[in-house]
Amino acid sequence: MHDKDCIFCKIIRGELPSKKVYEDEQVYAFHDINPVAPVHVLIVPKKHIPSVHHLTPEDEQLVGHMFLVAKQIANELGVAPDENMNKGYRLVFNVGKDAGQTVFHLHLHLIGGRTMSWPPG
Ligand code: AMP
Ligand code: ZN
């Protein structure tokens, strides 16, 4: 898919509405439109990358940055684990259709605010 048709590229450009949580030069984060938990935020790179499977070595720093942004948002939204690692949140990249990926612009799900089960469905 070309990025002109990508809904997350449109959100980043402000052509589609979103509830922004965080933004910097490299990433944009916003509340998921269909939250699966009390906290459900998507952290997306401003660069259009279709999935984890399309990452190249030049994206290494960007992906690390996405995790650090997720940690900061988890703190701000009150889902970070305490010193005993009670509470907490889940970080998910769905990669491909069998894994549940529906939007083919890289995004890290930050999901928290409730107890979660394992394994995922
Ligand atoms: P995935 O299934 O991993 O590709 O995740 C895509 C996520 O994007 C889903 O959780 C959707 O609810 C979410 N989503 C789709 N469209 C929008 C939108 N316009 N604004 C916010 N979240 C969206
Ligand atoms: Zn895109």
The answer on pLDDT for 29 being more than 60 is: yes
Average pLDDT over residues 61-66: 98
Tell me what pLDDT residue 19 has: 98
Distance CA 80, CA 76 (A): 8
Q: What is the pTM of this model?
A: 0.97
Asked if residue 20 has pLDDT above 60, the reply is: yes
2 is catalytic: no
Ligand 1 binding pocket includes 94 (Cβ within 6 Å): yes
Token pair of 50 as six digits:
């279709």
2 falls in which pLDDT band (50, 70, 90)?
low
Specify the residue for token string 């995790």.
Answer: 67
Cα(102) to centroid(ligand 1), Å: 7
Q: Which domains does the chain have, with CATH numbers?
A: 7-112 (3.30.428.10)
